[in-house]
Amino acid sequence: MYASRSEVAAVLKPQAVLRVVLVAAICAGLAYLALSQSRFPFALAMLPLMIIAPRLAHLELALVCGVTGITCVAVAMSGFMPGINGGVEMLSDGFQVSVAIIVSTPFMVGLFIKQISEDHARLAETETRWNFALASAGQGVWDADMRNNTVHYSATWKHMLGYEEHELGNDPDLWLELAHPDDVARMAAADRDHMEGRTLEYKLEYRMRHKSGRWIWVEDHGKAIEREPDGAVARAIGSMTDITERKEAEERLMVSAALLADEKERLRVMLQSIGDAVIGTDAENRITFMNPVAEKLTGTTSLASLGKPLGFVYRAVDEETGRRLDEPHLADNRLERTEQNSRALLTRNDGTRFSIRQMVSPILNELNEFSGSVIVFQDFTDARTLQRQLAYAATHDALTGLANRPSFIRTVEDLLDRARKDASHYQLMFIDLDHFKPVNDTSGHAAGDALLQKVAATIKAALAPTDIVARFGGDEFSAVLMSPSPVEGERAALAVLDAVSALEFSWEGQTHRVSSSIGLTSIAADSGEANEIIARADAACYAAKAAGRNCAFVALAGSEAGVAIPMTRVATGT
């Protein structure tokens, strides 16, 4: 065996040199005494070397042994050793072997002892690291010796249960004594299965009683590492980990999952039971839920729709704008709380369309990110029909279907505002029937109503489609002519005069003829207020009636209400 550089450097240090010199001197002196005075010279000469062998480094021991060997040779050559005759007998094989044994045996013993010490040190260091790693990981170790019927429990194993190391012994049944009564049968069965070779390892979760009296959950993981020739386990080793926090977390999750499942079932039952249609979608606008009402309104089943794009069953558009409403989450702001629309039209798979009222709400996850939508909608057909009817009734005359007086006045006001903004011009026409009262008196109000309906249709047909015709009240009609030209207004007045005059109305065998008196005025930025414009048109109509009926007068802007002058007769009916 060669000495390393570090060993040589260590021996050359002053303290080491002094130690080697001192020890070598002592051993050499004792060897001299043993060889010169003792009956057992070689044994006594080797004894000091055997004593110091475990205590010196390899190189130091070699030097001391060498010095001792040289001393032995020197003593023998000097003739101080009894029974040795100088140099001749010294060279005998027996003497040489004896000296070699004195020198080599302590050296070899020292090497062997040091090797054992180093092995033990490495083993102890490895065990220390392993125990530290297990303790850091919160794992306690147990080592069961079936031959001696003992189990060694590590300090961490005992600390896990709240005990100091000296408070628990090595009883092999200790783990069962501390186990929860409800878990003992499972533990014993799992242990038996592994001991009898039916499982490759022992792994089980169970409860153990803490020193404080509470129960903790542990995971026990072990394996047989030695078996007897007959297969019986001779030794097993394993580790135990405290998993109480994990178990408590699992229990909380189970409780939360149960509550969530219960809440989900409540929600499902509620959604199945409500009268509104409900469709749920994911972040990609795919259908995740449909209740029975939604199935009925869309004309498809939930089974056929799940996972499909929303537009597969829900094809909705805005009734007024035509904008698609079946992709609510594609709007600019996906995080809007709700989007309501009561003007939506839904097209079923069979092509039928009906009005719906819908509300779209986004679903946000815990990070406030969009994860889907909920669309709630109702069949709004009847309500929309009623709304239209009410809106129509509020703005139209029930008898003739023309715009009514309030609606017509709002139209005049709106056009006047427009004229003030863009300098546009319009014509206002007032029409009063001539000879209408005799029809009511002779044929009754039913005949009068029928005549008014016919006159309304006649006036509307005589004017342009863009013109607005209204029944202003009784036998009075009015119209807004969208043409800005006064000449066009006069032509329109003549057309109405001729159409009404040509109208023949028969009732119960009696024929009635009527004519009309018309007043015209302009709607422009300088025409004054709406009530003043209406008053001028009414005054012009009164002037036409006073002039003999069946004619039209124009009231110039600036005329006083109720005054026929200045006015111009512009048309006379045939």
Report the catalytic residues: 475
Q: What's the rounded Cα separation, in Å, for the pair 48 and 51?
A: 5
| 8 Å CB contact between 60 and 24 | no
299 Rama sector, left if φ>0, alpha if ψ -120 to 50, beta otherwise: left
Q: What's the rounded Cα separation, in Å, for the pair 501 and 455?
A: 10
Cis check: omega of the bond before 566, within 30 degrees of 0 = yes
Angle between helices 381-395 and 405-422 (to 10 degrees): 80
| 8 Å CB contact between 154 and 148 | no
Burial class (CB in 10 A: 0-12, 13-18, 19+), 542: buried
Helix (H, G, I), strand (E, B) or coil at 502: coil
The amino acid that residue 506 corresponds to is S
Count other C-beta atoms under 10 Å from residue 132's C-beta: 11
Q: What's the rounded Cα separation, in Å, for the pair 272 and 242?
A: 46
Instruction: Please give the structure tokens belonging to residue 350.
Output: 């069979």
Element holding 184 (H helix, E strand): helix 181-195
The neighbouring-strand residues paired with 152 are: 143
- Nearest CA to 244 among 211, 206, 213? 206
Q: What's the rounded Cα separation, in Å, for the pair 29 and 41?
A: 13
| 8 Å CB contact between 13 and 19 | no
Q: Phi/psi of residue 80, each to 5°?
A: -85, -10
Sheet containing strand 515-523, edge to edge, reads 468-473, 476-481, 426-434, 515-523, 551-555, 567-572
Expressed in angstroms, the distance from the first to the final Cα of the chain is 147
In whole angstroms, what separates CA 566 from the centre of its chain?
A: 79
Per DSSP, the residues of 18-69 read: HHHHHHHHHHHHHHHHHHHH-SSHHHHHHHHHHHHGGGS-HHHHHHHHHHHH
Instruction: Please give the structure tokens belonging to residue 535.
Output: 């008053």
What one-character DSSP code corresponds to residue 330? G
The amino acid that residue 563 corresponds to is V
| 8 Å CB contact between 273 and 267 | no
